């Protein structure tokens, strides 16, 4: 009764919190991106209710020793296959990657210590990509195994609700999702910066890294965007240069087919120089040239040290770049928005794939563990393929940015939620 009373008192404050969040999203979102705020709002509501229901259940259950033992037992059933899968896939990835780079390591006489540090710095990005698959496998494997030995039936027969049985799974998914956000925003940007510096020491000519969709901030309030950057050849392809005044108003916009660093100078090829009105951004004058020497003090190494690929950048930096390019280059803004929404969406993949895992695990009473593993891999492959396809369509401009970022999660959320609710009721 007391918990119900507190819940009623809390509801007005919850409504107020949602109103404030809604106002913030409305102010920050432009007209053409209204639907994006709906998607973000939906994820916030889902995240809230998962935490709310979990906390409410803890109050209703009380400090029952029996329930704690059952929850700890179920949690142990999840953690064992999760970490086994995580270690196995990570090891396979590293072994395969070493085999492809082994000749290059030997050629450049790379020490074992340097190789170890390189893959140690690669771990956060590897783990970030495979964690959703590991959550899916762990969910299906643990439930299939408990179903096989009739443990689920025994727990239900003793009066334990299905929700209580599944609560450790949702709590685990929420914790993993929080960790993924931390990893994405803090750990990966730092480790990738160091890893790229190390990579230069043993990067062979045939395995040169090509950076895609990179953005640089140069001296003199200049922003440089390039679709491709070849560090060894010192070439930028499909370049957009924005020259701003101190008020961040664009004075000149330069588009070039390519730019190359030759004899400590940047040469632009097949370029158009636009002189803009700083107040209205209207074109006042345009000059087309086949070749021009451009005054840029930074060399390719300096540019690369300032910025990394969009994939490894935190949301805060992406948001700042979107603000810089908005109203100046719609193509650049679109690509940045696709990356921005995808980075918000991807960590929630754990919770969404878990819904499918719970349905498959609860349904497969007599299924073999091998069959459960096969189903896990099929669902995981389907999700990653669908997500990559939507992401590519967003980059090409076929889908709106928010749709490209959230489509896979929304699609699998609807399927997983429907199947699990049908199974529960």
pLDDT in tens, 18-39: 565 555 555 455 544 555 555 5
Model pLDDT, residue 127: 93
- Residue at token pair 């999702």: 177
The predicted structure's pLDDT at residue 206: 47
Q: Which residue has the higher pLDDT, 252 or 37?
A: 252
By percentage, how much of the chain surpasses pLDDT 90?
A: 23
**Residue reference for tokens 């004058």:** 285
Domains of the chain, with CATH numbers?
A: 63-201+340-424 (no CATH), 220-296 (2.60.450.10)
Q: What is the pLDDT of residue 232?
A: 78
d(CA 75, CA 70): 9
Q: Is the pLDDT of residue 178 over 70?
A: yes
* pLDDT value, residue 424: 61
**pLDDT tens-digit map of 291-330:** 998 888 777 766 665 555 667 788 888 887 787 667 666 7
Q: Hey, is 1 helix, strand or coil?
A: coil
Query: pLDDT-based confidence at 9, cuts 50/70/90?
Result: low
pLDDT given at position 212: 79
Q: Is 286 helix (H, G, I), strand (E, B) or coil?
A: strand
As a whole number, mean pLDDT of residues 76-103 equals 90
Higher local confidence (pLDDT), 272 or 327? 272
Q: How confident is the model at residue 5 (pLDDT cuts 50, 70, 90)?
A: low
Q: Residue 341 in contact with residue 221, Cβ under 8 Å? A: no
| pLDDT of 8 higher than 90 | no
Mean residue pLDDT across the chain: 79
Structure token pair of residue 337: 């928005």
Least confident of 18-22, 77-81, 188-192, 326-330: 18-22
The Cα–Cα gap between 176 and 170 comes to 10
If one compares 177 and 320, the residue with the highest pLDDT of the two is 177
pLDDT tens-place string over residues 146-168: 887 788 888 878 777 777 788 88
pTM of the model: 0.70
Q: Is the pLDDT of residue 389 over 90?
A: yes
What is d(CA 85, CA 138) in angstroms, rounded to the nearest whole number?
8
Task: Indicate whether 86 pLDDT > 90.
Answer: yes
Pairwise CA distance, residues 397 & 411, whole Å: 20
Measured between alpha carbons, how far is 294 from 291 in angstroms, rounded to an integer? 10
Integer-rounded Cα Rg, in Å, for the chain is 26
Neighbours of 75 (CB within 10 A): 16
pLDDT for 63 = 47
């Amino acid at each position: 009764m007391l918990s119900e009373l507190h819940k009623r008192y809390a509801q007005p404050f919850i409504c107020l919190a949602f109103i404030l969040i809604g106002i913030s999203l409305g102010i920050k979102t432009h007209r053409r991106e209204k639907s994006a705020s709906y998607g973000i709002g939906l994820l916030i509501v889902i995240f809230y209710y998962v935490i709310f229901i979990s906390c409410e259940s803890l109050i209703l259950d009380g400090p029952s020793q029996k329930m704690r033992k059952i929850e700890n037992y179920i949690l142990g059933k999840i953690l064992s296959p999760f970490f086994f899968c995580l270690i196995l896939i990570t090891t396979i990835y590293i072994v395969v990657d070493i085999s492809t780079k082994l000749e290059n390591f030997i050629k450049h006489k790379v020490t074992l210590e340097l190789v170890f540090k390189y893959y140690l710095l690669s771990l956060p990005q590897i783990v970030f990509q495979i964690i959703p698959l590991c959550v899916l496998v762990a969910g299906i494997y643990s439930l299939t195994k408990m179903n096989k030995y009739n443990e689920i039936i025994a727990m239900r027969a003793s009066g334990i609700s299905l929700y209580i049985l599944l609560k450790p799974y949702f709590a685990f998914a929420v914790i993993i999702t929080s960790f993924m956000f931390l990893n994405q925003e803090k750990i990966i940007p730092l480790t990738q910066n160091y890893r790229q510096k190390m990579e230069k020491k043993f990067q062979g000519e045939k395995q040169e890294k090509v950076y895609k969709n990179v953005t640089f901030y140069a001296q003199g309030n200049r922003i440089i965007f390039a679709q491709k950057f070849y560090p060894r050849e010192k070439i930028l392809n499909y370049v957009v240069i924005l020259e701003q005044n101190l008020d961040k108003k664009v004075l000149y916009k330069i588009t070039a087919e390519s730019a190359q660093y030759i004899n400590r100078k940047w040469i632009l090829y097949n370029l158009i120089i636009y002189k803009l009105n700083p107040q209205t951004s209207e074109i006042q004058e345009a000059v087309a040239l086949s070749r021009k020497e451009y005054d840029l003090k930074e060399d390719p190494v300096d540019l690369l040290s300032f910025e990394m690929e969009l994939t490894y950048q935190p949301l805060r930096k992406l948001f700042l770049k979107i603000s810089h390019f908005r109203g100046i280059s719609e193509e650049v803004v679109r690509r940045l928005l696709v990356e921005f929404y995808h980075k918000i969406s991807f960590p929630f993949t754990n919770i969404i794939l878990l819904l499918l895992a719970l349905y498959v695990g609860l349904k497969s009473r007599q299924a073999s563990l091998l069959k459960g593993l096969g189903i896990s891999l099929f669902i995981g492959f389907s999700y990653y393929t669908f997500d990559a396809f939507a992401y590519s369509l967003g980059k090409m401009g076929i889908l709106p940015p928010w749709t490209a970022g959230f489509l896979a999660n929304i699609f699998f959320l609807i399927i997983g939620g429907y199947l699990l609710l049908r199974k529960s009721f």
